[in-house]
Amino acid sequence: MVEIDCRGLSCPEPVIRTKKALKDNADGLDVIVDDRAARENVPRYAEAAGFKASVQEEGDGWRVKIRK
């Protein structure tokens, strides 16, 4: 599974990177974020784009699992 690391980035950059990565990985990917706004906005974007998203706390941030 493809993983993109968006730690240290504030919104909307994690959402923009997620959108770009999903174009090349239509089955899904994992996005690692440490910004609270990104923790809310990345799964919201994924679900609006027709994917399923789940969030797991991981270390000092979150892993957003996006699947078709």
Catalogue the active-site residues: 11
| Structure tokens that stand for 29 in this block | 């990917």
The single-letter DSSP state of residue 30 is E
Q: Which residues pair with 56 in a beta bridge?
A: 63
Degrees, nearest 5: CA angle 28-30-36: 125
